Structures are given as C-alpha cells and as structure tokens.
Amino acid sequence: MVRNFKELDVWVESVKLVEEIYDVSSGFPRDEIYGLTSQIRRAMVSVASNISEGCGRRTSKDFVSFLYNSVGSAKEVDCQLIIANRLKYLEKKKFEELENDVNKLIGMLMRFIHYVSERDVV
C-alpha cells in the first residue's frame, strides 16, 4: 500500500503531539530520564511511526493493524500522562490539555481505521 503518510491529518496531529510531549517531558525530574520521560516519548513517537509504517504495507488489513498499534501507543501515552500528573510533574491545566489532545488523536485514529476498513483503500 503506497500512500504519502505526510499528507494524512492523523499523522500530522500525531507529530504535533510528539513535539508537545518532548517539550513537557523535558521538565520532568532528571532521575526520570530513563523512566517515565523515555517511556512517554517512545510511546508518542510510536504513534506516528506506526501510521507511517502502515502506509507502506500491501493491504488495507495490514495498514489497519498498524493503525491499531498506534491506538495502543496513544492509550499508553494517556496512562503515562495520568501518572505524570499524579506525581505532580505536570500542571493540571497542561495535563488536561494534553489528555484532551491525546483523546482527540485516538478518535481520529478510530475514524481513520473505520474509513480504511470500509473502503479497502489499497
């Protein structure tokens, strides 16, 4: 399946969130560099990476599988944001903003999965 992932709104939004997560996690405590900081960054990068990798797959079914991997990684980011908030690494307003953005992205992914599944857009 050949598709220019850079033109997909869902990919563009995921990369914006990567930038936000890197920015906010740079303020996490130094002793979290190999813990929560690394984990939340890798999970968010995984969302964008799975979208782009799926675009290179031969079938819509394969593409959808990678999109579901993106959903899983986005859920992981949501969990890690909750943990960061509970540990007081994030201000409440920033946490709420990021959690809203992640949930919006998950919604976009789910709608895109439905679109790809229904139309078999190979």
Percent share of the chain, pLDDT over 70: 96
Number of domains in the chain: 1
CATH number of domain containing 57 = 1.20.1440.60
State the pLDDT at residue 120: 63
Q: Which of 25-29, 38-42, 52-56 has the lowest mean pLDDT?
A: 52-56
Q: Is 40 in contact with 80 (CB distance < 8 Å)?
A: yes
| Two tokens, residue 54 | 């799926």
State the pLDDT at residue 121: 56
Domain that holds residue 105: 5-119
Contacts of 92 (CB under 8 A, 6+ apart): 85
Over residues 16-31, the mean pLDDT reads: 97
Over residues 18-32, the mean pLDDT reads: 97
3-state class (DSSP) for residue 81 = helix
| pLDDT tops 80 at residue 109 | yes
Distance CA 13, CA 53 (A): 16
State the pLDDT at residue 118: 86
pLDDT in tens, 57-94: 888 999 999 999 999 999 999 999 999 999 999 999 99
